[in-house]
Structure 1
Amino acid sequence: MRISGAPATAHINAIGTALPPHDVHSAFDGLIGHMLSGRRERAVYQRMAKRSAIESRYSFVEAIAAEDGAVSDSEGIYTRGSFASTARRMELYERWAPELALQAIAELDDDIATQGITHVVVASCTGFMAPGLDQVLIRRTGIDPSAERTLVGFMGCYAAVNALRLAHHLVRSTPEARVLVVNVELCTLHLQETEEVDKLLAMLLFSDGATAALVTAEPTGIALSDFRAVAIPGSDELITWRIGDQGFAMHLDGQVPIRIAEALAIERSRNDQDGILRGQSPEDYDLWAVHAGGRSILDAVERGLELPPEALLPSRTVLRECGNMSSATLMFVLARMLAARKEGDGERPGFGMAFGPGLAAETFRFSLL
């Protein structure tokens, strides 16, 4: 119960998730492999790809294997020598992003308009359109068009935390607020044609997915606590996401896991309130909702914070089954925690974390009720 005069506590009451129809992990692996002309490069790529800990990735783009082993796609956007322009990829984003978001919303509530939604927060970094996704979703779901709208755009993988932070503040300031938080990413639209092995390995991680969450002051689900962002000095260019003529180009430096592990090891050794652990130790948290950015990222978090292997099982499971869906990924992890809770478990403290351009970490504390 809320103490009179104290700010309301925001709760994620429920989360809906959605994936596109095509599991393309194996086929895209073949498509990427065919970009490499050198035997040594192909060998390096295949060796590293096997260590990705990913079994499935989903896309609206259907990959088609030919008899000669080459791979094409249903939209013709990955044709060797003529990968699609950014304009063409944005056409597909405008067609598919609303559909995937609507699937997630329907999973949350098949008649969301009856939920009295007052605010809509949409996070996406893989496309742009106007009217925006927020307006399209309000119109197509029948949500009251007077609902306040916010787009969290082009922030990358940690946008999920920023979207939740916004919902957290909205509920704290307006306890009657009912916030729909949507994350939708079509990462596979941005596959690049290159023979640089490190770039191809980075692209191997990414997948498409969407989530929809209802955040209110009703004390059920996941209670959200304080949010805190931390940037690692001198790491600005380790993760970049830039718009080119043939889609959005991702750069993921091999130093990222090392820098994350080092930074978290320092944070673990701190015992003051200014650290990201807020003066607590990792042992004080029962649950870890960590963005599944890749096997090496999760390994770095586990190593830096000295977590037991089972701590990141929800994140590793999402990575294995879905790949890295950018901002939607963390919400898939939280959805898995909600689904796994059992009556009688009691309140369980948790810590949420996601990484992205900066190099920065966005963090929050939560309790699974």
Structure 2
Amino acid sequence: MATLCRPAIAVPEHVITREQTLDLARELHADHPQLNLALRLIANTGVRTRHLVQPIEDTLRHPGLTARNARYEAEAKKRVPEAALRALAHAGLGPRDIDLIVYVSCTGFMMPSLTAWLINEMGFRPQTRQLPIAQLGCAAGGAAINRAHDFCTAYPEANVLILACEFCSLCYQPTDLAVGNLLSNGLFGDAVAAAVVRGRGGTGVRLHHNGSHLVPGTEEWISYAVRDTGFHFMLDKRVPGTMADLAPALRDLAELRDWDISGLDFYIVHAGGPRILDDLGTHLNLPSSMFRYSRATLTERGNIASAVVFDALERLFQDGGAEHGAQGIIAGFGPGITAEITLGSWTRTKETDADAEAARPPARRPITVSGTGGVKSVNSA
């Protein structure tokens, strides 16, 4: 049975605080008729710090879509390989052990996908399958886990590498002055996440069942308007209330396995904002502490889109994980309005890892990583 292993998270070196964000809003939008409302909304996000791929003065400039997308590609090639290698190490695998790469991102565009570059530069086998997902937004992290689970169900010996690369700051649009856009300017952050789903062996979340739910008639509530200047984020004011529709979907999926959604041991959910977590707790009759890992991600890194669920899961690993057999849920929420939901239990048996090691292929030659990735070599065994 497939197991989601420990993720690796990488955040850029440039940091902006909530106080700096509020000061910038006051400076840049002093004449905005709804400035006080925007400031109050930003202050209430719960976000204290966010990481950016550029210094704030560069982030606030818009050099055009061509330059921004070139920056996205350069930063992805610079930052993704290192996270991928750490995730592979967490899973006890090398690049040549991977059968499928799932790459999710909604903040830049490449064709061929970054997966092609990674296969060439990092020594993945030419037969490695590629699955880029670009249009599920924040839900894509959950979708990536689910598609990896599906693949490992079809091919039980397979291993899948998931990569989430989100540089939300590269979508900043200085001419978008709606309150929802001003709020998003103080909410989203940048991050890269990587994780491996092993078909056999591994320590982490053993994946049991997955599902998806779309709330009818909400496809325009979270969207991009694609214009000459790039992606313009569109956010409907009704989005924070969507847990009233999505909480029952989580409950229904849990009941398929006779699990009590309000009695699970861990909850790894997308932290789109504080109200999402507050409402989900209310609808599922759960204390705030059950979402502590998601809240920590939101507080320290902001909404990092598809990378949120992996960052929250890594915090559970840092906390020592859960007891063997503990039941939990992973859920990503995004455009549609869509929920991608996974049910799993914690596995940490020595027998599982021993069986996996015995089944691994013989050691292979070291793999050299060149190009802009910045990682020189790693042993694939």
TM-score normalised by structure 2 residue count: 0.83
Matches within 5 A, 1:1-369: 9-26=1-18, 27-38=20-31, 41-63=34-56, 72-73=57-58, 78-79=60-61, 83-109=62-88, 113=94, 116-193=97-174, 194-219=176-201, 220-260=203-243, 262-264=244-246, 266=248, 275=253, 277-278=255-256, 280-341=259-320, 345-369=323-347
Supply the RMSD in Å over aligned alpha carbons: 2.2
Which consecutive unaligned segments of at least 5 residues does structure 2 have?
Answer: 348-381
- Distance in 2, Cα, partners of 1:342 & 1:267: 26
Relative to its length, the structure with more helix (as a share) is: 2
- Distance in 1, Cα, partners of 2:97 & 2:190: 29
Three-state SS of the structure 1 residue aligned to 2:6 is strand
Quote the residue 2:372 is aligned against.
Answer: none
Q: Which amino acid aligns with 1:44?
A: L
- Distance in 1, Cα, partners of 2:255 & 2:332: 14
Q: CA deviation at 1:60?
A: 0.9
Q: Which shows bigger deviation, 110-119 or 314-323?
A: 110-119
Q: Which amino acid aligns with 1:312?
A: F
Q: Is contact 1:84–1:246 with CA below 8 Å preserved after alignment?
A: no
Q: CA deviation at 1:233?
A: 2.1
Q: Is contact 1:33–1:45 with CA below 8 Å preserved after alignment?
A: no
Q: Which amino acid aligns with 1:155?
A: L
Three-state SS of the structure 1 residue aligned to 2:109 is coil
Quote the residue 1:6 is aligned against.
Answer: none
Quote the residue 1:68 is aligned against.
Answer: none
Which consecutive unaligned segments of at least 5 residues does structure 1 have?
Answer: 1-8, 64-71
Q: Which amino acid aligns with 1:203?
A: N
TM-score normalised by structure 1 residue count: 0.85
Q: Which amino acid aligns with 2:41?
A: M
Q: Which shows bigger deviation, 115-124 or 185-194?
A: 115-124
- Distance in 2, Cα, partners of 1:33 & 1:195: 13
Q: Is contact 2:157–2:200 with CA below 8 Å preserved after alignment?
A: no
In 2 relative to 1, CA 275–365 (structure 1 residues): closer, same or farther, beyond 3 Å?
closer
- Distance in 2, Cα, partners of 1:196 & 1:60: 24
Cα shift readout 1:328-352 (whole Å, capped 9, x = no counterpart):
1111111222232358x33210011
Q: CA deviation at 1:35?
A: 3.2
Q: Which shows bigger deviation, 148-157 or 23-32?
A: 23-32
Q: How many residues align?
A: 341
Q: Which amino acid aligns with 2:47?
A: I
